[in-house]
Every structure is written in C-alpha cells, then in structure tokens.
Amino acid sequence: MKLNRLFLLLFLVAFTGQTFAQSSSELKKKKQAIQKEIDLLQRSLNTTVKGKKLTLSQINALNTKISLMQSKIDVINAEMKNLDSQIHENTTIVHSLKDQLAQLKLQYAAMIRFAQKNKNAYSKMMFIFASKDFHQAYKRIKYLQEFSRYRKKQADFIQGKEKNLNYKIVILDKSLKEKSSLLQEQENEQNKLGKNKEEQAAALNKLAKQEKQYKQDLDSRMKQRAQIDKSIQAAIRREIEIAKRKALEKARLEAARARAAALAKAKAEAAALARAQAKARAENKPVPVAPKVKEPEEEPVKASSNYLTATPEAAKLSSAFQNNRGSLPWPVASGSITEGFGRHKQGQANYDNSGVTITTAPGATVRAVFEGKVTTVRTALGSYFVLIKHGEYFTVYQNLHSVSVSPGETVSTKQAIGTMPSGGSPELQFQIYKGSVPQNPGGWISR
C-alpha cells in the first residue's frame, strides 16, 4: 500500500511537472514576443526622438512601450508563481522520498539482521531436509530463492529511490536558482519601467508646453487621414455600385428570359386552341372561345440587397473571411499596435481611427491578410494605399512606400503587396470594412 501511494504521488508530480513545463514554455515565448515589440518600439523612438518637436507617433509609441513593459512584468510574475508551485511540489516529493527511503532502509536492515541471526541455527540444507515431504521441501527451496531475489530487488529499489531523490534535489536547486534569476529580472524591469514613466512624464510636460503647435500638427494629420479615408470610402462605394449593377443586370436577364418563356407558352396555347376551333367547325361541334393572348407585363427588377455576395464565389469567399475572425495573420511580420480602433483623445483634441496603426520595422514587407482581389491601388499624400476585396469584406493597407500588385490581380494569404518606408518610424494604417462599415481589426487578426 505504501508503494502504491508512492507511485501515485510520483505520477501526479510527473503530470503536474509536464503541465508546468508547458505553461513555463508558453510564458517564455510570450515574454520573448513582448520583448521583441519593446525593442522595435525603442528603435523607433531612438529614430524619432532626435527631433525637437514632439509627435503623435512618439507619444503613442512611448505609451505602448510602457504598456508592454508592464505586460512583461506580469508575465515574469506568472513565471514566478508557476515556479513557486513547482518548488513546493518538488520539496514535498523530496521529503516524501527521504521518508520512504529511510523506511525502506530500515526494512532492508531488519531483513539482513533476520537472515544473519538465523544463519547458524538453520542452514539451507537443514532447512530443506527438515521438510515433512517432497512437496514441502520444494516449497522451501522456492521460498529461499524468492527471499534471495526479493533482497536483491529491494536493494535495487533503494538505489533507484536514491537516484530519484538526487535528481529531484538537483531540479529543486535549479528551480531555486531560476527563481533568483527571475527576481533579478523583475527588479531590472521595474527599474526600466520607472525610467520610462519618468520619460513619459517629461514628454507630457513637453506636450503641455507645445500644446498649440502639437494641436496644429494633430489637426493637420487628422485632415490628411480623413482625406484618405474619404478616398477609401469612395472606392468601396464604387465597388458596391459595380456589384449592384452586375446583380441588377443579371436579374434583368433572368426576368427577360422568364417573360419570353411565358409569352412563348401563351402563343403555343393560342395555336393549340386555333387548331381545336378549326376541328370543331369541320365536325359541326361547338367552337371553343379563343381568349386574348396577353403579353406578360414587365415587373420591377429585384435583386439581393447584399450585392457583394450575389455570386456563389463571392459568398463563399466572404464566409471564409468571416470564419477566420480572430486568426487572420498580421499584415506585417513584426510590429506593435500603437494606436487602436475607435475614438481617441490627445490633449484637448478628439479624433477617430477607422483601423489600427501598426508601428513596424523600416522597409518591412506588407502582406495580404487573406485571399482576395485587388480593386484599388492609389497614391495619397506621398504614399500608397491598397484596397483588397474579400466578398463583402475589404481590407485596406495605407502608408506604403511601394506596391507590387495591380488592380484586378488576385492575391493569396500572406502574399507580399508592398513595402513600408525604409527610414524613420514607419506606421502601417490597417483597416477592415464589412461593406462600407469599418470593423475593429484588433478582433480579426491573431493575438
């Protein structure tokens, strides 16, 4: 029973150890990903901070960096929590193994003392020859063999437990060292966070002094963004109008075919009636009255209200895009969202962002997040934007330095469509629309 409990305890610890290892591995990956974003933003800040004038990009990058640093500290805390749990479990196992090992050694020592004590009184041969019959003698021989094997098995078992104990002690020591390292890392990150918050406070103080100039720059930027958004909305409306014309034309053709078929049927019925009248006259029978052949009236053409999914292909593509909500790839290989979707406030100014702003590396390749058809490639205020249609959905990629696709071209998921500027702190403006309604890209791309 004791051995069974020990095996059960070892199994549970092995299982929880595996779970811990997986969780620890995931946390390490998450911490590394956060650090990559922090490094990217720091390079961006190093590039833009040389200017004396404070920009919206700098403020957004600094705020995002501080948020990421806090997230990294939270991950470190989660790592330490997991590690504390593992240390507690391993400490429990070490104590249990020590107790079990001590008990096994006591039992083994008693076994050896018993064998030694009875060695002179009863030799093996005398023990066997003292049997009443052959069957009992055979049983005693088997007993001696089993006793010898059991002693060896117990010795091996004790050695195995000692080896396992030593291994657990090494793991425990390693965990304690790792915890010490995490505590040091946490302290370093807290110090860095404090310095960045001081930098943030200085930036806000600088912003207060430059409020007038900053507001002018912000107003100018928002006007530019509104101008580009207006062009994008116009391009989307144009695509909807094209889809509407095609859907209505298709509906007209189908209605014309239906009218022609109805008219042909009516004429055929009239011809059959004429033949029946002629036959009745020849046979002096009552002549059937011929109804007037009335041409079917042209009814108003009706088509589906969702013109963008009027065709099976468009409906299928739209459904596939919808089904990938939350798992679409990022439009760049690396980057950080420095301005989210929706309403924002900077100082006394309020403005809206129809998408998300992603700060990325200079010269980064911009990729399509899903298969679709390029409908628009246009320059706006010194940069390009690309509009891609995915059934009733559209994705927009703004602030591109160069493009590698053309209108009418079909693209696949993650296909390169252009590049970002090679200098400064490039910001990709990424948008998603359902019809003409902007969506929050943060809920569509993978986390």
Q: End of a domain among 165, 193, 209?
A: 209
Per the structure block, which two tokens stand in for 55? 């920009």
67-81, 158-172, 196-210: which is most confident = 67-81
| Domain contains 175 | yes
Non-local (6+) Cβ contacts of 8 within 8 A are: none
Does residue 6 have a pLDDT over 60?
A: no
153 and 15 share a domain?
A: yes
Q: Give me the percent of the chain exceeding a pLDDT of 70.
A: 74
The answer to whether position 223 is within a domain reads: no
Is 303 within the bounds of a domain?
Answer: no
> What's the half-sphere exposure (Cβ side, CA atoms, 13 Å) at 158?
15
The region of weakest confidence among 37-41, 121-125, 331-335, 360-364 is: 121-125
287 part of a folded domain: no
Asked if 36 and 184 sit in the same domain, the reply is yes
Query: What mean pLDDT comes out for the span 91-99?
Result: 76
Half-sphere exposure of 405 (CA within 13 A, CB side): 28
Claim to verify: residue 17 and residue 161 sit in the same structural domain? yes
**What confidence tens digit (pLDDT) does each residue in 297-353 have?**
554 444 444 788 878 888 999 999 999 999 999 999 988 888 899 887 766 667 788
On the question of pLDDT at 409 being above 90, the answer is yes
Q: Show which of 142, 174, 209 is a domain's final residue.
A: 209
Q: Is the model's pLDDT at 179 over the cut of 80?
A: no
Residue 253 lies in a domain: no
Domain count, the chain: 2
Please check whether residue 297 lies inside any domain of the structure: no
Kindly report the average pLDDT of the chain as a whole number: 77
Measuring CA to CA, how many Å separate 282 from each of 276, 277, 286, 337, 367? 10, 9, 10, 91, 82
The pTM assigned to this predicted structure is 0.61
Average pLDDT on 255-260 reads: 79
Q: Tell which of 190, 209, 228 closes a domain.
A: 209
pLDDT at position 370 is 96
Residue 395 has pLDDT above 90, yes or no: yes
Asked if residue 150 is part of any domain, the answer here is yes
Q: Give CA 362 to chain center in angstroms.
A: 24
**Please, which pLDDT band fits residue 108 given cuts at 50, 70 and 90?**
low
Residues 188 and 335 in one domain: no
pLDDT of residue 266: 77
Give the residue with greater pLDDT, 20 vs 232.
232
Residue 52 lies inside a defined structural domain of this protein: yes
Summarised one tens digit per residue, pLDDT across range 37-84 is 777 777 767 765 555 555 667 777 778 888 888 888 888 888 888 878
Residue with more model confidence, 438 or 201 = 438
- Domain residues for the domain of 386 are 323-443
Q: How confident is the model at residue 7 (pLDDT cuts 50, 70, 90)?
A: very low
Same domain, 53 and 185: yes
List, as own/partner pairs, every contact residues 260-264 make where C-beta atoms lie below 8 angstroms and the sequence separation is at least 24, other chains included. Answer: 262/296, 263/295, 263/296
Residue 428, domain CATH:
2.70.70.10
Which residues lie closer than 8 Å to 327 by C-beta, 6 or more apart? 446
Q: Could you tell me which residue, 29 or 434, shows the higher pLDDT? A: 434
